Structure 1
Amino acid sequence: MADPLTLALAAGAGLLGGAMNALAGGGSFATMPTLIALGLPSTVANATSNVAVQPGAVASAWAYRGGLAPLGGVGVRTLAGITFMGGLAGSLLLAWTPARAFDVIVPWLLLAATIAIALGRHASDWLSARFSAGPRSLVAGQALLGIYGGYFGGGVGMMLTAMWGLLTGASPAELAAPRTLMLAVANSAATIVFVASGMVAWALCLPMMIGSIAGGYLGALVGRSLPPGVIRGWTLLVTTVTTAVFFWRAYG
């Protein structure tokens, strides 16, 4: 049994991670590093983090449910099905990945997520002026990010927002509802694999899960009133610092 301070840290990280997922994505930037700092191997920390934030992702998706609508001519159910299958494939890939290999790969995945946040709307405007994307492009991108979400998940919500913005021209505010739903779907697929394969450290997962439920719902409520620039700035700060720490950890 973990000591009270450890349980409190896990719950606090879950609260922050759930709120971040609801506001702009990137909750794993709070939960996974905390679990590693508490002594879990990186692959187990990632699996435990994914399972822990799942209820928070569902709470956020429920709070945002009124904003669901088709994207780029593709229905929400179709996108959810693609995301679920990709999440299964990605989580199986994680289960087969050695911890050291994962440590080397993760900083680059974090860097990709950070760049996606930093470019944001500027990249969307640049691409939309030069390229017209159809449903096939959206489906292909959704499949790739579904796999990424199951394998790692860090920043996948922000990457979804960036990709959808690039391909449809929709604003981040318009994409909040489908983003939170796809996070919940990808986490559901990963949860099945991680629980079945015994990769979850339940002693830390459960308090983190409780925190993520509260953070996910509260974050969705707060996100309706906060200026987009504040949300984006905070998320970019957290992802940049976390990315630097993971590069130092892997290569320093």
Structure 2
Amino acid sequence: MRTAPNSDLVLSCRRIRHSFGTQLVIDDMSFDVHAGQAHGLTGDDQSGKTTAIRIASGLMAADRGSVLLDGRPIDEIHPLRRSIGYVAQNVATVPSLTVAQTVRFWARLARVPQEQREDHVGEVLALTGLQRHADTPVGACPGGVLRQLSLAVALLGRPRLLVLDEPGRGIDPHSRERLLLTLARLRDDGLALIYAGRDRAEVASLCDHVNVLPSRRETLRRETLRRETLRRETLRRETLQRETLQRETLQRETLR
């Protein structure tokens, strides 16, 4: 059993609600992520996992609710100053560059100081188990190595929060297991993680807490029920007001 995570709150999402047009995607989602903790988001395809990830990362704004990063509204923090590493399913690469050269390229883009760059590149290669692939051209790498490369790039800059959107999709079971072991080590070293995936067992194997997002059909059912309840309550109030007005009118007429 894991020890309790650090009490250092990294991310707090409260009452998140979002729609695309008339289609409700996320309804009243809340969760916290502390340092040394992994939080999972799982559900069927089109359940809103990617939308939830993007809102939590500050990549898009929710219709309603709040996202705090280190106690500050995330939209008030410049994107380059947000301590978040986003693990893309695949990063942009040049097939002829080696794994190490690719990480160096992204380190320059991440503005890692030149005097620290080689140490930092070596650090993320070691953290992700890519040292043995450092001299392998990216074009010759299998999918599992490319996913680890995406993770290495996200770790540049030493973020406090790592965000992963279905990182296990499209890679073989052995590579997926290796990726989960790497993420568990990072979590235990104090990194905060958000991990979204469709496989609930996979998400639960890594995460301390899990939000199960309802399917689109269930979200639609809930929204329809909410609107019907609101309609009935509005009708009830209007009926009550009308009856009250009628009684008052009758009383005035009686007193004349």
Report if TM-score (shorter chain) is over 0.5.
Answer: no
Q: Which has the higher contact order (CA 8 A, sep 6+)?
A: 1
| Structure that is richer in strand per residue | 2
